[in-house]
Chains A and B, each alone.
Chain A
Amino acid sequence: MSVDLISIDLLAVADPASYWTFGFVILTFALYLYIGWRSRVKDSKGFYVAGQGVPAIANGAATAADWMSAASFISMAGLISFAGSDGSVYLMGWTGGYVLLALLLAPYLRKFGHYTVPDFIGARYYSETARIVAAICAIFVSITYVAGQMKGVGVVFSRFLEVPLYGGVIIGMFIVGFFAVVGGMKGITWTQVVQYFVLILAFLIPAFAISSMLTDSAIPQVGFACSDVPAKLDAVLMELGHNSYTEPFGKFSKLNVFCITAALMFGTAGLPHVIVRFYTVKDVRAARYSAVWAILFIAILYTTAPAMGMFARYNLIQSLHNATIDRVVEEATENSPAILQLKSPNDSSMDWALRWQKTGMLKINDVNGDGVLSLVAGSGPGGKDSEVIIDRDIIVLSTPEVAGLPPWVIALVAAGGLAAALSTAAGLLLVISSSLAHDLYIRFVMPDATESEKLLVGRIAIVFGILVAGYFGIFPPGFVGEVVAFAFGLAAASFFPAIFLGIFSKRTNRAGAVSGMIVGLLFTFTYIVLCTSDKILGDETPMLAPENYLLAGMFGLKEGINPQGIGTVGMVLNFIVTLTVSCFTSPPPADVIELVDSVRQPDNCGEPKKH
């Protein structure tokens, strides 16, 4: 095939959605910039907690956007799509944690009334060391997390606008940087409100479309439970030699489903960028209602995602299994397999497959050379996978194309993915800034800073955070993906017990909390590093192999606790150590007991009325 022919071929599949995408992206970005400018702030209270005047419903939407990251929007439905029933660990883990946050932490922290989580830890445990440890943990969790967001921005740009990855990351950095630096928490809050509506529309429209295509109902939640798709999907998966979709414990053992779900739940409740959102509302009551709005807004996406995952899996199998290879568009090179034009068994257009092959996220390898693709388990290279290797991240982004939806829907999904990534990145950057500037620099280096100096330091810290995030977005170290997944385990093992006991147990003292946090964090961190040393440290095999995982082979368990779930064990250890050490050391001073009392009840609380 001559060079000319190749370029004509590539032009012929130029994405019709790219003009729409340009339009949507420019429109939404202009909107975010405008809102950032409108909400510019002049004092540090506005900068860190939006002046504590955000209405509950707006804070709910902002919390939902803050919380739902590129991972929720782009990756989660894909993860569920391939995990089947066990995908519930992500669904229940991330939403169930919200209940803990709303009932056990948020209202009391709002009553406490300062700006950050390290503020609370420092005051409750009357210890500057505890404050510093909490601030460093917050920075560590947030930086790993924000790098993942920037990478998400890069993926959307490189696939839909054919801008190189680094260009996409730089544009994303500039946009977030602008509204975060100018508007601080206030700017971030109001842009997040808008971003929530962009991302939820972008998620729902294709989900409704694919649901009405495959089932009798346009509502994905109804299609999920009341259609033939689950039964048909189970049947075809079994026929191809895969695990059934609806049977539990195919991917993880019951013990691991429990541990991973719990680690994600308690980790969610301890994530600083989500907690800090509750500081922005007027009072405790508003904090409770903004939690209601937030979980409602989150549930809309989280109950749609499993339906989307199931429909997408079914759709992909229908279009790819037994598809024939029409012709070779680009010959295989050393690094990449050939790019192939396919012909689907159900005669739908396969141009999407061509475009995703170019990004390297869809790989086709006709191992047996019969010109027909097989999705049978074990038919792939070396008897693994199958002849089609699909990156789970393309499920959400490709569904509208696979389903043949109009180009503007595809473009909307791209804009939604960007909204999800940017809103979370902004919230995380603010935590990095407040930890660096408010908890560390202002407190220890220039304690008598004026208001405008404080604001300036906060802004410089945000710029610093953006540069670090951007660097990791462009040059992602191999382990970012790993670390992001483990950030929850670390948060569960460190923050959750310290904050929870700080409110619910007056006896918990400094010695207990500090030793508990250190034990929980070190235990969890060490276990994760040992289990993933092949990826993190570059060892050939992990130092701790799956057959040696904690509890493996004991109590008749075949599988031990895998590193994603170890945060649960770390948290239990933290609780035990904190309570034991507190018991044997002197109780906290009187002013701390008073602080605990004051976060537990309203100030003007009288005797109960007789009924």
Chain B
Amino acid sequence: MNQSLKTGKSSYWKANLRLVSILLAIWFLVAIGGGILYVDQLNAFRIGKVGLGFWIAQQGSIFTFVILVLVYALLMDRIDKNHGADK
């Protein structure tokens, strides 16, 4: 394996890991934090006519999941392109 290919691969993997870690941190914060651990505190706030914690647990978290998977696919396209791996 030549040197430039090797550094290319390791920087690709690093970029991938960074993106996945950020997205999973949001995943944890919203689902586990907002939907479970701090649901009581969040229920003090309202969205529409229900408590915010309850809404996140039954609706908001699922919307967030869709967005996370979409952002992952879009940003991975950019990482691919940046490393010339989109062909």
Listed in ascending order, the chain A residues whose CB lies under 8 Å from chain B are 80, 85, 87-88, 91-92, 95-96, 98-100, 102-104, 107, 221, 224-228, 230-231, 246-248, 254, 257-258, 261-262, 285, 288-289, 291-292, 295-296, 299, 302-303, 306, 597, 600-609
B84 partner, pick from A107, A288, A606, beta carbons under 8 A: A606
With A88-B57, A231-B49 known to touch, is A102 a contact of B43 (CB < 8 Å)?
Answer: no
**B contact residues, range:** 35 or more
Instruction: Check if A289 sits within 8 Å of B58, measured CB to CB.
Output: no
Query: Across the interface, which residues of A come within 8 angstroms of B40, CB to CB?
Result: 248
Closest chain B CB from A505 CB (angstroms): 12
From 33 to 50 in chain B, residues with beta carbon under 8 angstroms from any chain A beta carbon are 35-37, 39-40, 43, 47-50
Q: Complex: how many Å from CA A80 to CA B54?
A: 13
With A230-B50, A292-B73 known to touch, is A104 a contact of B12 (CB < 8 Å)?
Answer: no
Instruction: Check if A99 sits within 8 Å of B4, measured CB to CB.
Output: no
Q: Complex: how many Å from CA A96 to CA B39?
A: 17
Query: Across the interface, which residues of A come within 8 angstroms of B58, CB to CB?
Result: 80, 85, 87-88, 91, 224, 306
Instruction: Check if A600 sits within 8 Å of B13, measured CB to CB.
Output: yes
Closest chain A CB from B38 CB (angstroms): 10
With A258-B32, A292-B69, A600-B16 known to touch, is A225 a contact of B55 (CB < 8 Å)?
Answer: yes
Q: Complex: how many Å from CA A410 to CA B1?
A: 63
Contact pattern, B 11-37, Cβ under 8 Å of A = 1, otherwise 0: 111011000100110010001100111
Instruction: Check if A602 sits within 8 Å of B48, measured CB to CB.
Output: no
Q: Complex: how many Å from CA A295 to CA B61?
A: 12
With A99-B65, A605-B12, A605-B83 known to touch, is A246 a contact of B54 (CB < 8 Å)?
Answer: yes
Query: Across the interface, which residues of B come within 8 angstroms of A230, CB to CB?
Result: 49-50
With A225-B47, A292-B73 known to touch, is A96 a contact of B12 (CB < 8 Å)?
Answer: no
Q: List 11 A-B contacts (CB under 8 A).
A: A92-B35, A92-B36, A96-B27, A246-B43, A288-B72, A299-B66, A597-B9, A600-B13, A600-B16, A604-B84, A606-B85
Query: Across the interface, which residues of B come within 8 angstroms of A95, CB to CB?
Result: 61-62, 65
With A248-B54, A303-B62, A605-B9 known to touch, is A285 a contact of B77 (CB < 8 Å)?
Answer: yes
Query: Across the interface, which residues of B come within 8 angstroms of A231, CB to CB?
Result: 49
A248 partner, pick from B43, B49, B59, B77, beta carbons under 8 A: B43
Query: Across the interface, which residues of A come within 8 angstroms of B59, CB to CB?
Result: 221, 224-225, 303, 306
Instruction: Check if B65 sits within 8 Å of A96, measured CB to CB.
Output: yes
Q: Complex: how many Å from CA A221 to CA B39?
A: 19
B20 partner, pick from A103, A302, A597, beta carbons under 8 A: A103
A303 partner, pick from B31, B63, B73, B84, beta carbons under 8 A: B63
Instruction: Check if A85 sits within 8 Å of B83, measured CB to CB.
Output: no
Chain B minimum-CB-distance residue to A607: B8
Closest chain A CB from B37 CB (angstroms): 7
With A99-B27, A226-B49 known to touch, is A299 a contact of B62 (CB < 8 Å)?
Answer: yes
Closest chain B CB from A255 CB (angstroms): 10
With A227-B49, A230-B49, A606-B83 known to touch, is A254 a contact of B69 (CB < 8 Å)?
Answer: no
Query: Across the interface, which residues of A come within 8 angstroms of B16, CB to CB?
Result: 600
A-B interface pairs (CB < 8 A), number: 160
Q: Complex: how many Å from CA A132 to CA B68?
A: 35
What 5 A-B pairs come out closest when comparing CB atoms?
Answer: A88-B57, A225-B48, A602-B85, A226-B48, A306-B58
With A285-B80, A303-B62, A608-B82 known to touch, is A103 a contact of B72 (CB < 8 Å)?
Answer: yes
Q: Complex: how many Å from CA A609 to CA B15?
A: 13
Chain A minimum-CB-distance residue to B68: A99
Q: Complex: how many Å from CA A87 to CA B39?
A: 13
With A99-B27, A608-B82 known to touch, is A302 a contact of B39 (CB < 8 Å)?
Answer: no
Q: Complex: how many Å from CA A246 to CA B42?
A: 12
Chain B minimum-CB-distance residue to A598: B9
Query: Across the interface, which residues of B come within 8 angstroms of A261, CB to CB?
Result: 31-32, 35-36
Instruction: Check if A257 sits within 8 Å of B36, measured CB to CB.
Output: yes
Instruction: Check if B65 sits within 8 Å of A295, measured CB to CB.
Output: yes
Chain B minimum-CB-distance residue to A80: B58
Instruction: Check if B83 sits within 8 Å of A607, measured CB to CB.
Output: yes
7 more A-B residue pairs beyond the given contacts A604-B84, A609-B84, with a C-beta to C-beta distance below 8 A: A91-B58, A92-B62, A96-B31, A99-B27, A224-B58, A228-B49, A288-B72
Query: Across the interface, which residues of B come within 8 angstroms of A254, CB to CB?
Result: 36-37
Closest chain B CB from A96 CB (angstroms): 5
Instruction: Check if A295 sits within 8 Å of B66, measured CB to CB.
Output: yes
Closest chain A CB from B4 CB (angstroms): 5
Q: Complex: how many Å from CA A228 to CA B37?
A: 26
Query: Across the interface, which residues of A come within 8 angstroms of B4, CB to CB?
Result: 606-607
A295 partner, pick from B39, B47, B69, beta carbons under 8 A: B69
Instruction: Check if A608 sits within 8 Å of B32, measured CB to CB.
Output: no
Chain B minimum-CB-distance residue to A90: B58
Instruction: Check if B62 sits within 8 Å of A302, measured CB to CB.
Output: yes
With A91-B58, A224-B50 known to touch, is A605 a contact of B76 (CB < 8 Å)?
Answer: no
Query: Across the interface, which residues of A come within 8 angstroms of B47, CB to CB?
Result: 225
A246 partner, pick from B24, B37, B51, beta carbons under 8 A: B51
Q: Complex: how many Å from CA A228 to CA B62?
A: 23
Query: Across the interface, which residues of A come within 8 angstroms of B63, CB to CB?
Result: 299, 303
Instruction: Check if B69 sits within 8 Å of A104, measured CB to CB.
Output: no
Instruction: Check if B32 sits within 8 Å of A103, measured CB to CB.
Output: no
Query: Across the interface, which residues of B come within 8 angstroms of A601, CB to CB?
Result: 9, 12-13, 85
With A88-B58, A246-B50, A601-B13 known to touch, is A607 a contact of B7 (CB < 8 Å)?
Answer: yes
Query: Across the interface, which residues of A come within 8 angstroms of B13, CB to CB?
Result: 600-601
Q: Complex: how many Å from CA A119 to CA B70?
A: 28
Q: Complex: how many Å from CA A602 to CA B63?
A: 30
Query: Across the interface, which residues of B come within 8 angstroms of A288, CB to CB?
Result: 72-73, 76
Interface centre among A85, A221, A227, A262 (most CB of B within 10 A): A85
Instruction: Check if B37 sits within 8 Å of A103, measured CB to CB.
Output: no
Q: Complex: how many Å from CA A230 to CA B7?
A: 56
Closest chain A CB from B53 CB (angstroms): 7
